[in-house]
Structure 1
Amino acid sequence: MPYAESPVAQLLERNLSLFAGKRLLIAGYLEDNFVLSLRHEARSITLFCNDYHRYLALQAAAPGAGVTLQFGHQPQGLSADYDALLLLLPKAKRESQYLLACLAPWLTPEAELFLAGENRGGINGADKLLAPYCQQFNKLDSARRCSLVHGQLSHAVAPFNIDAWVQHYQLQIDGQPLTVCALPGVFSADGLDEGSALLLEHVPALHGRVLDLGCGAGVIGAVLARRYPAIRLQLCDINALALESSRRTLACNGLQGDVLASDMLSDVAAGLDYLITNPPFHAGLNTLYAPTEQMITAAPSLLARGGKMLLVANAFLRYPPYLDRAFKQQQIIAENRKFRLYLAQ
């Protein structure tokens, strides 16, 4: 049985009997593989992941019989016969609302809804999350600043309409408007961040095969595709909602690019002329540097001869030692009070 590492998993571990005999749909912030333990209690479990890293980790754990595993921005092709939903609350409230809206139509009438999460992650607002679906709800357990909340579906749920969840906004870049399409919880969902703006202001002329790593809503990739139409653009991200947002941003602006799921560089082919990234350093509620440090180490093997990496990051992040070890040369080509733009070759 997978070890209950996180506080939320430890809370679930002492409540496994709640899921006995259920056809269980599980989604949200799948922090570890502990959710696979539920297959020993439930009749069947379906794990819906919008995080590609967790999807790969669960897939590698060989979940076995009675377990269905799916990655995407919304469930596809499931049977609408789940009598229980377990949502492990993600960092963003709006993403929790989105997941409930796209998962609830797959539930049976009077299905049970379980919400689990940390106090700092929004579980104290579970009543507001469940209100559109349940007339009554109650806290079943709490420990280590986490809670497990239960409700029961009280009425029919409207079919999911993803278009109602896409936020649109316009940026003025290079003297032209750019429409950005973003689903909840996606990086750049609310506007152009200062780091990406610094990168776009100082990016050199590009050619050949260009990767926008950690594409978020697709702002950087879309600007590069429009500014340098001859490039062969790829965009990748770990988040399925980000991938769908990037597809929509490109399409909305009449631009072309290959959008793919990748855990940093896991699914990227070699031969890049430019690797361009404003990498994340958070996972859920936690600060996490290791993925970017590992990406820096691996990047040279995926760059073509003479290939370059442009990385923008908060100035306090200590990436230069990793850049020095991985590349023949690296330099800061632009910076402001918060961010630095590194060019490595």
Structure 2
Amino acid sequence: MMSSSQTLSNPSLVLQRNEALFAEKSILVAGNIDDQYPIELQKMASSSTFCFNDYRYFEKLQNQLQDSHFTHNYSGKTDGSQFDLLLVYIPKAKPELEYLLANLTPHLKAGAEIVLVGEKKCGIKSVSSLLEAYAEQINMIDSAKHCSVIYAELSKAVKPFVEEKWIKDYQINLNDISLTIRSLPGVFSFGELDKGSELLLNNLPEALNGTALDFGCGAGVLSCYLLKQYPELTLDMVDINAYALASAQLTLAKNDLKANVFASDVFSKVDKQYDVLISNPPFHSGQKTNYEAAETFINQSKNHLKKKGKLIIVANKFLRYEPLLNAAYKTFVEEAADNKFKVLSCKG
């Protein structure tokens, strides 16, 4: 049992009540993993594989897990063997859960167990309905701490996974710049240009040059627009979400653009300074609102901004980033605002 000093999420606490499910089985674990419970699961299972789509937890746990992957598309064990049980921590976006099930069920044995765990507010009824494509019988086997555990056995034929079927394309036409954005489920603003990014792109400086970093790049909207608008820019794109990073690569390729795309927990893998830092900072984590990444980005941004460089962010009006910008830069400029969003900038 995990020590009390290591905080577990409510879904993991409910799983602790059902540990017999995992004993001596080959298990595949994926979804919204956001604590250290995988270490315990590894101890009780005969073998375990963990698929992380959040780089923060992959980075923390990869050295303590025998078989872990930061991936948007799991391709199976190297020896081709299949799993006895699939455990999925239910993600916030239903299309992402649907995608996960399609991607992972081909790696299960016939009759394998499927266990879903998540908070009730994620919509347990609609979640259960997604399992109807895989199982005849679907049951809620536990409910506690505002969470539920859903159980099923794989009894229906599983189709081979084809990633291309899950990619959604949409067009952006803004200020004489046309882009095709390619996006996988679970990526921010899936299938459309969000209003915050649109406000930012409509209020860019006349000239940007040198090197730029797009923090929380998502499907690559800001970066690809910048590369079209300022072809001389050299761009790095970072995100913690595996689906976002894969989508960004797809978007770059579709628009015949080039940038360096990599996973980083804010600046954890960033080791240089830039002329431009640009972001529509994320403030959601799983089912919760979480400002930590955006605050860390602002607080540490000056260390990664060249002298006379420029920080440009867009944020919801209710987010109080101004005190953070004042603390880091002494001053900031509100470049634009509407009834929902604001564009803020600082100079290095």
Distance 2:20 2:276 in 1: 52
**Match 1:320 to one of 319, 322, 327:** 322
* 8 A contact 1:55–1:71 mirrored in 2: yes
CA distance in 2, matches of 1:126, 1:337: 35
CA distance in structure 2 between the aligned counterparts of 1:256 and 1:188, rounded to whole angstroms: 22
Secondary structure of the equivalent of 2:133?
Answer: coil
Deviation of the 1:306 alpha carbon: 1.4
Residue equivalent to 1:26: 29
Q: Where does residue 94 of structure 2 map in the other structure?
A: 93
Aligned partner letter, 1:298: Q
Decide whether the 8 Å contact of 2:72 with 2:243 is kept in 1: yes
Tell me what 1:70 maps to.
69
TM-score normalised by structure 1 residue count = 0.95
Q: Which amino acid aligns with 2:287?
A: L
Which residue identity lines up with residue 72 of structure 1 in the other structure?
T
User: C-alpha distance in 2, partners of 1:329/1:46?
Assistant: 48
Return the offset for 1:260: 0.9
SS of residue matched to 2:169: strand
**In the aligned structure 2, how far is the partner of 1:235 from the partner of 1:116?**
32
Structure 1's 244 and 259: CA in aligned 2 closer, same or farther, altered over 3 A?
Answer: same
Q: Residues 106-255 of structure 1 correspond to what in structure 2 (within 5 A)?
A: 106-204=107-205, 205-255=207-257
Q: Does 1:15 align with 2:18?
A: yes
Provide the C-alpha distance between the structure 2 equivalents of 1:155 and 1:39, rounded to a whole number of angstroms.
Answer: 28
Decide whether aligned partners of structure 1 residues 108 and 57 sit closer, same or farther in structure 2, where only a CA change above 3 A counts.
Answer: same
1:85-133 Cα offsets, whole Å, 9 max, x none, are 0001000000000011111111111111001111111333232111111
Residue 292 of structure 1 aligns with which residue?
A: 294
Q: Residue 58 of structure 2 corresponds to which residue in structure 1?
A: 55
1:263 is displaced (CA, Å) by 1.1
Q: Would you say how many aligned residue pairs link Structure 1 and Structure 2?
A: 341
Report the alpha carbon displacement of residue 188 of structure 1 after superposing the two structures with TM: 2.5
State the match for 1:265 in structure 2: 267
Determine helix, strand or coil for the equivalent of 1:337. coil
1:174 CA drift (Å)? 2.1
Alpha-carbon distance in structure 1 between the residues aligned to 2:323 and 2:187 = 29
- The whole-number CA distance in structure 1 between the counterparts of 2:46 and 2:7 is 21
1:103 is matched by which residue type in structure 2?
L
Between the aligned partners of 2:127 and 2:294, the Cα distance in structure 1 is 33
Q: Answer yes or no: is the 8 Å Cα contact 1:214–1:280 preserved in 2.
A: yes
Q: Where does the alignment leave 5 or more consecutive residues of structure 2 unmatched?
A: none
Native 8 Å contact 2:299 2:328 kept in 1: yes
CA distance in 1, matches of 2:208, 2:142: 55
What is the SS of the residue equivalent to 2:253? Answer: helix
| 1:332 counterpart = 2:331 | no
| Counterpart Cα distance in 2 of 1:212 and 1:245 | 14
Give the Å deviation of 1:77: 4.9
The structural deviation recorded for 1:208 is 0.5
Alpha carbon RMSD of aligned pairs, Å? 1.4
TM-score (norm 2): 0.95
Q: Which consecutive residues of structure 1, in runs of 5 or more, have no partner in the other structure?
A: none
SS of the residue 1:160 aligns to: coil
Distance apart, 1:262 and its partner CA: 1.0
Give CA deviations for 1:210-229 in whole Å, capped at 9, x if unaligned. Answer: 11111111111111111111
Amino acid of the structure 2 residue aligned with 1:317: L
Aligned identity (percent) is: 43
- 2-structure distance, mates of 1:211, 1:272: 7
Verify the 8 A CA contact 1:23 1:44 in the aligned structure 2.
Answer: yes
